[in-house]
Amino acid sequence: MLLLSLLLQFTSVLSSPLTSRDLVVKHAWDVVPDGWHPHSVPSPTDTIKLQIGLKQHGIDQLITSLYEVSDPYHPRYGQHLSKSEVENLVAPHPNSVSMVEEWLVAHDIDIFGAVERSPAGDWLSVSVPISKVEQMLATKYHTYRHGQSSELVTRALSYSLPRILHDHIDVVVPTTMFGSLDMMRATHFVHPAGEIPVLTEAEAASVPDVKGPNGQNIPASCNTTVTPTCLQALYRTAGYVPTAAKKGNAIGINGFLEQFLNFVDLQTFFSKFRPDALGANVTVISVDGGLNDQTMPGVEAALDNQYTEGLTFPTPNVYYTTPGTAPTINDSVTPPQRDEPYMTWLNFILAQKDIPHAFTTSYGGDEQTFPKDFAVRVCNQFAQLGARGGSVMFSSGDGGVGAGTCQTNDGTNRTIFQPVFPATCPFVTAVGATFQIAPEKGIFFSQGGFSVYFPRPSFQDAAVPPFLRQLGNTYKGLFNPAGRGVPDVSAQGEGRPHSFQVVVSGEVVSVGGTSASSPTFASIVTLLNDFLISRGRPPLGFLNPFLYSKGLSGLVDILLGNNPGCGTPGFNATKGWDAVTGLGTPDFIKLKSLLE
């Protein structure tokens, strides 16, 4: 009798749709993504940390709630969700959990001892030999090398799941995600000692002023050399003193690609450009073993943190250092591969009880290099941050309408404009770049355009069509007119010829790019949050519904500039929203008055 029972169980497992060969492709590339070349074959005994994103049962309800609490004209405005409320909405359906667990068990994976679970249960992680992963996903992994960066990643060109699991799993990583993070800075150059006349606060005050768009006085030197003083004058935050530092207000700065913040450089920066902040520091939080090596100061880390602290002092600044170089699949004596940094950071921050109210990230990559299922899942995680009251800013990119060949990677080699992800996610605020003052102009590298993956969100329904009507048939076929438009807003990204003044290894460095614009705009948002929180009100949270409606009159429309790329002059800045500068640049005083 016992033997019969065991035989029946064995027969049941063999006939299960989870162990049958009824496999359906989940994602596949037609060709090796552009820039990557086969390098080697990993050992089948190497382990890979497989991450399985289960379908989030209430994600549609979460997005509905996100829009309601972010709409300044909705009764629920400002009623952000708690961590537990968000987790309840994104938790997978019990049926999804049981089906995926059955699949893992069928492949001899211990679901109790080997599997790690996110707080909401929507992510499962397990370390598995690559040979078993290949069996589970009906795929073959290879190590690929990037032609320009020499970065090595171990990836598959396709992966499959049992047909029955497609309704229960959003994405499995690492599989086909070749997207490579880029730092959004168009220029970075160290000037020889003495070449740049670094002005003290007193010297800057003696330079004749020019008038800003609202009649404010701005040092004329800001046309060529950007400092915190310039940004305070241009965006009218000068004189505002934050008071909500002890009431929970904070700004988070994301760091990837081994970008380390040097504390001595930070103090040197303060001594030159923000003397009253001397002695202040940034809290560094390691994510998944991220380092902050003081012997390797990073330009991007310096730019982001020196300017967020320089503009928001004494508001707490938090720097998250997340590994993301993805060397290759690792063996038992090598640290685990960290190759999905957005996902790693998002899973970390969403697991925290208390989070900053504003975030800035100056990294991204061409949207088409991210598999759509991966991009959508990551985007929905940004929606979770917004639902909890977080304002998420991303650099829009530094490639105009597209850098490089601008060819599609689907095997057809068509030329299309190339927007940058995650800036194309509708749940983040994409920040483009301007330069000069009186008037500000859209700068050539400010990346803008239209998403292929994400449709135009409702908050853009009034702002984007006028731009498209004015454009007419120009560039027809080179972009998706029904897609989410980027950027949403803009801020200074470069002064000519010296750009943002940053201290790296004790030297003044000039840095430009939308990597300067995003922390600048995020700093203005942080000051607005300070204003709200100090009066006992909730922070702004997901910004876009506010910016495209009530907040529109608090932005300065940029009317000059274009963003060439893909062999074209690109889009033009124009009245209203445009795909160079978005809705425009911030006016702190006007935005603050709209929130009173």
Residue 293 labelled as part of a binding site:
no
Considering the candidates 46, 71, 304, 530, report the single residue annotated as catalytic.
304
Helix axes 514-533, 588-595, angle to 10 degrees: 40
Cα gap 116→381, rounded to integer Å: 18
pLDDT at 135: 96
97-155 pLDDT, tens digit per residue, is 999 999 999 999 999 999 999 999 999 999 999 999 999 999 999 999 988 878 888 99
What does the domain layout of the chain look like in residue ranges?
Answer: 10-57+92-177, 183-190+239-595
Out of 3.40.50.12160, 3.40.50.200, 3.30.530.20, 3.40.50.1820, the CATH code matching 183-190+239-595 is: 3.40.50.200
What is the number of alpha carbons within 13 Å of residue 465 lying toward its C-beta? 5
**Per-residue CA distances from 248 to 245, 297, 347, 537 (Å):** 6, 29, 21, 12
Residue 558 labelled as part of a binding site:
yes
pLDDT at 98: 97
Considering the candidates 499, 515, 517, 518, report the single residue annotated as catalytic.
515
The separation between the first and the last C-alpha atoms of the chain, rounded to the nearest angstrom, is: 78
- For 55-163, where are the E strands, in sequence order? 116-117, 123-129, 141-146, 152-156, 158-162
**φ/ψ (deg, to 5) at 94:** -55, -35
168-214 pLDDT, tens digit per residue, is 999 999 999 986 666 555 444 444 445 555 555 566 566 678 888 88
pLDDT at 331: 28
For 119, other C-beta atoms within 10 Å of its C-beta total 16
pLDDT at 494: 87
**φ/ψ (deg, to 5) at 264:** -65, -45
CB 202 within 8 Å of CB 214: no
Q: Is 68 a catalytic residue?
A: no
**φ/ψ (deg, to 5) at 252:** -105, 135
Report the SS3 class of residue 441: strand
pLDDT at 190: 40
Cα gap 239→222, rounded to integer Å: 18
Cα gap 305→319, rounded to integer Å: 8
CA angle 383, 388, 394 (to 5 degrees): 50
Q: Is 494 a catalytic residue?
A: no
pLDDT at 463: 98
CB 80 within 8 Å of CB 69: yes
The DSSP code for 437 is S
Pairing of strands 507-512, 187-190: antiparallel
Integer-rounded Cα radius of gyration of the chain: 24
Residue 365 labelled as part of a binding site:
no
142-151 pLDDT, tens digit per residue, is 999 988 878 8
pTM equals 0.92
pLDDT at 17: 61
Considering the candidates 300, 488, 494, 530, report the single residue annotated as catalytic.
300
Q: Give me the residues of the chain with pLDDT under 50, please.
A: 1-15, 186-193, 326-338
Cα gap 331→372, rounded to integer Å: 29
